[in-house]
Amino acid sequence: MSDDPFEDARSVAVEQLERFGLSAYAARTFVALAAHGSGTARKVSQVSEVPRTQVYNAVEELHEHGLVHIQHASPKRFWAISSETASRTFQHELRRRTEILRTALEEIEPPKPQAEQRGVWTVDGQAAITNRVLEFFADAGDEIVYMTVGDLLTDEIIEALGEAAERGVSVRLGGVSQDVQDRIQDEIPGATMFESLWMWSDTAAGRLMMVDGQKTLVSALVNGAEASPSDPRSETAIWGQGNTNSLVVILRAIFTWRLDTAESE
Amino acid sequence: MSDDPFEDARSVAVEQLERFGLSAYAARTFVALAAHGSGTARKVSQVSEVPRTQVYNAVEELHEHGLVHIQHASPKRFWAISSETASRTFQHELRRRTEILRTALEEIEPPKPQAEQRGVWTVDGQAAITNRVLEFFADAGDEIVYMTVGDLLTDEIIEALGEAAERGVSVRLGGVSQDVQDRIQDEIPGATMFESLWMWSDTAAGRLMMVDGQKTLVSALVNGAEASPSDPRSETAIWGQGNTNSLVVILRAIFTWRLDTAESE
DNA sequence: AAGCTCTGTAACTCGTTTAATCACGAAAGA
DNA sequence: TCTTTCGTGATTAAACGAGTTACAGAGCTT
């Protein structure tokens, strides 16, 4: 097992370059050139373990992306642009392409608001679940009940809750630790806190959400034996909406009962 | 030849999604779902022409990226997240990855300033050439001579010239049309203009650059019959640096002679 | 000048991936 | 019960990319 930090950085860079659409040879070639500034096909081949005869193709590919300069001599010399310039080139290119995608998708998307979906749906992955929650928050009109563990109360979530509160939406937060509560009270003055409905941290943690009494989401961190705790993909959620939705009915019953009980105590 | 604008937008979206790493089936499936909001495997198969039995795999792939929600019923129903959420998801993901790449590359890059490269080098593509020019400008100490056609005098270039001028670098600009000259004089008070050295617009246009009398770049727009004029990839350049560099020697001779002549007239 | 090495181009082989098809049991509806 | 539809799994075929080999020309060495 290699603990050479340079080796690590190189393979990381190679992996990212490949995911951005470069071939394996092109990625390895660029990293080799970036590490040594400039070099011939032979030198690149030695340090990157790319077959020498394939270095020319790889460099050609990089040249078309504007990532290397070529000196037409014998032997040819290749020169990688600076890492800073390279990063900015990618940044620009990708921003441009996401913009193209966004425009195309918006043109495709049906204009009319989606008919309300019936049934129970699933989403996986912390980022995707957070997105869904944020969309629910943005649509909230009356009340948000949100119960979570500290790890999943990100700045994005807090910000969205704050915006909702300013619209006059009643915000009820549960399950957060004392120190986080103080911070919340500062940022969202209108929010009210309630204690965990049950011993949240003992079991596998997750979130419970109800908006306007008719949109609900439940998630769990699936930190079993296999998934690492830090893996953001290890959260799974179900959600549903509508007055008669079975998940909504259940969640509403639980929340109403427990919150009423807690308030009357 | 289809002139249906929706069809266009769809294929554009599919292409971008594929370049972001999705399979062809997944991309087509997502576009179909985005267009119709939600649907079953059969419906998706009909509008996207993805084999029905493969829709399940495609949806699985999309689900792992957090792009669709799945309703576990029979028949299963699939639901695409909003185009706005999808775009932001990609944007975040790509920003994160470019950041990883940037860090890794900077760790790899040798700390010491590169030994000055000898010889004549080539770069292709407008963006890459502009990057090279900007790097030259950033290093300029005494004097910048830049001659170009209007199309290639972008805001980036003007901004970099302005920064150089503020550092005390003497800036000489040539080949720009009268109306652009006025604008330049506002933004870069220190800049001096000179007329085109020769009838620039008649021949294939491009740029000439010399920095500190020892770094030079020449480019040409290769608008032959094939390349469209708006194609940003159709510019090709050569550059070189160092007092004895052949390209530098030639360019310096031309510029010195013509500029001196022009000034003494 | 003959023999050698090295460079750069091109063609080819092999393996993996991905698109596309097929077979089938389970479930639902007529 | 018969028929259709659904979802899974396996199989085939095509495409792509990695890796190898062949070779002509240029440059050195002796």
Q: What is the pLDDT of residues B111-157, one digit of tens each?
A: 666 667 788 888 988 889 999 999 999 999 899 998 887 667 888 99
Q: Are B220 and B206 in contact (CB under 8 A)?
A: yes
Q: How much of chain A exceeds pLDDT 90, in percent? A: 43
Nucleotide nearest to B75 (CA to C1'): D6
Total residue count of chain A as it appears in this document: 265
> And the tokens for B26?
């997944």
Å: B77 CA to D3 C1'? 23
Q: Does A106 touch chain B (CB under 8 A)?
A: yes
With a cut of 60, say whether residue B48 has pLDDT above it: yes
B190 or B90: which leads in pLDDT: B90
Compute CA A200 distance to the chain's CA centroid, rounded to the nearest angstrom. Answer: 24
DSSP β-ladder status, B120-124 and A170-174: unpaired
Q: Lowest mean pLDDT: which of A7-11, A188-192, B111-115, B124-128? A: B111-115
Dihedral, CA atoms, A118, A122, A127, A133, nearest 10 degrees? 30
- Residue A116 is given by DSSP the state P
A191 vs B32: which has the higher pLDDT:
B32
Highest mean pLDDT out of A225-234, B87-96, B102-111: B87-96
pLDDT at A91: 93
Which percentage of chain B shows pLDDT scores above 90?
44
Nearest to B220 by CA among B210, B209, B211, B212: B209
Q: Which helix (H) or strand (E) holds A238?
A: strand A235-241
Q: How many helices (H) and strands (E) does chain B have?
A: 9, 10
The pLDDT mean for chain B works out to 83
Determine, for residues B83 and A119 on separate chains, whether the beta-carbon distance falls below 8 Å: no
Residue B231 confidence (pLDDT): 56
Instruction: Decide if domain B5-83 falls under CATH 3.40.50.720.
Output: no
Residue labelled with tokens 């800036």: B171
The pLDDT of residue A189 is: 80
Mode of pairing for the β-strands spanning B143-148 and B170-174: parallel
Task: State yes or no: pLDDT of B175 exceeds 70.
Answer: yes
Q: Is a pLDDT exceeding 60 seen at residue B3? A: no
Please give the average per-residue pLDDT across A244-261, as a whole number: 71
Q: What band does A258 get if pLDDT is binned at 50, 70 and 90?
A: low
Q: Which residues of A are less than 8 Å from B84 in CB distance?
A: 102, 106
Out of A57-71, A120-134, A153-167, A179-193, least confident range = A179-193
Please tell me what DSSP assigns to residue A82. P
Q: Is B3 helix (H, G, I), strand (E, B) or coil?
A: coil
- Least Cα distance to A211 among A136, A161, A157 occurs for A136
Give the start-to-end residue ranges of the domains of chain A: 5-83, 121-264
Segment 220-239 of chain A within 8 Å of chain B by CB: 233, 239
Half-sphere exposure of A217 (CA within 13 A, CB side): 27
Residues 6+ apart with CB under 8 A from A63: A69, A70, B122, B123, B124
Contacts of residue A181, Cβ cutoff 8 Å, sequence gap at least 6: A173, A193
- Residue B2's pLDDT band (cuts 50, 70, 90): very low
Note the pLDDT tens digit of each residue in B59-99: 999 999 999 999 888 788 999 999 999 999 999 999 999 99
Architecture of domain B120-264: 2-Layer Sandwich (3.30)
Residue A201: what pLDDT?
47
Residue A46 CA distance to nucleotide C3 C1' (Å):
27
Which residues have Cβ atoms closer than 7 angstroms to strand C?
A 40-42, 52-53, 56, 73-76; B 23-25, 50-51, 53-54, 74
Nearest to A127 among B66, B108, B129 (CB): B66
Sign of CA dihedral A108, A111, A113, A118: negative
The Cα of B225 is separated from the nearest Cα of chain A by a number of Å equal to: 20
The predicted structure's pLDDT at residue B232: 53
| Whether the Cβ atoms of residue A17 and residue A26 lie closer than 8 Å to each other | yes
pLDDT for position A52: 94
**Tell me, what's the pLDDT at B119?**
82
Tokens of B85: 């959420």
In three-state secondary structure terms, B144 is strand
Looking at residue A184, its amino acid is I
Q: How far apart are CA B120 and CA B114, in angstroms?
A: 16
Nearest CA in chain B to A134: B85
Residue B225 has pLDDT above 60, yes or no: no
Mean pLDDT of chain A: 83
**Strand D close to B189 by CB, under 7 A:** no
Taking C1' of D21 and every protein CA, the nearest residue is A53
d(CA B156, CA B131): 9
Subset of residues 53-112 in chain B with CB less than 7 angstroms from any atom in strand D: 53, 56, 73-76
**pLDDT at residue B224 is higher than 70:** no
pLDDT, position B150: 64
Q: How far is CA B110 from the centre of its chain?
A: 26
Q: What percent of chain A has pLDDT over 70?
A: 83
Residues B172/B144, Cβ–Cβ less than 8 Å:
yes
* pLDDT score, position B59: 94
How high is the pLDDT of residue A90? 93
Q: What is the DSSP string of A174-233?
A: ES--HHHHHHHHHH-TT-EEE--SS-TTTS--EEEEEETTTEEEEEEE---SSS-TT-TT
Predicted confidence (pLDDT) per residue in B240-254, tens digit = 888 888 788 777 877
The helix or strand, by DSSP H or E, that contains position A137, with its residue range, turns out to be: helix A126-139
**What is the predicted pLDDT for the residue at A238?**
85
pLDDT attached to residue B22: 95
Q: For chain A, how many helices (H) and strands (E)?
A: 9, 10
CATH 3.30.870.10 describes domain A121-264: yes
Nearest Cα to B111, choosing from A201, A83, A211?
A: A83
Does B47 lie at the interface with A, CB-CB under 8 angstroms? no
pLDDT band, residue B37 (cuts 50/70/90): confident
For A15, which residue in chain B has the nearest alpha carbon?
Answer: B101
Task: Select from B42, B81, B259, B106 the least CA-distant residue to A6.
Answer: B106
**Residue B228 Cβ < 7 Å to strand D:** no
Question: Is residue A6 predicted with pLDDT exceeding 80?
Answer: no
Residue type, B94: L
Q: Which nucleotides of C are covered by protein (CB under 7 A)?
A: 6-11, 18-23, 27-28
Q: Does residue B246 sit at the A interface (CB-CB below 8 Å)?
A: no
- pLDDT average, residue stretch A73-102: 92
